[in-house]
Amino acid sequence: MGDVELSRSFFADKLEQAKIHFERALDCKHTEFDDLYPYMIEHPQFFWYKRYVAWSELLTIVKLSEELELPWAEHFTERQAEYVRNRVMSSKVLDYWYETNESKEHVG
């Protein structure tokens, strides 16, 4: 029983970290990626690549959660969970990740 609770807690924490990482990349805020590849800031494709890396990380944690039959969708709005289920980071995801563009809930 303890292993199951540890797994739930571990994956919930990793999922929250991946979500924050994606949202920071989406908002063009500093992430670990900036520290790993500081020279990329000079290149225009940097922000797209940074978002792609964060999105891939988020999808990986969700996939592992699903394989372990651990809940993940409760960490997202219904719309966000649908984007994650579709797995494709489209312009729709980038533009409407937050419920409305007028009242974005940006991460700190």
What digits encode the pLDDT tens for the residues 24-42?
999 988 888 878 777 777 7
Q: Could you give the 3-state DSSP secondary structure of residue 87? A: coil
Report pLDDT digits (tens) over 74-95. Answer: 999 999 999 999 999 998 999 9
73 or 46: whose pLDDT is higher? 73
Say what the pLDDT of residue 4 is.
66
Report pLDDT digits (tens) over 47-68. Answer: 888 899 999 999 999 999 999 9
Domain segments of the chain: what residues?
Answer: 2-96
Say what the pLDDT of residue 49 is.
87
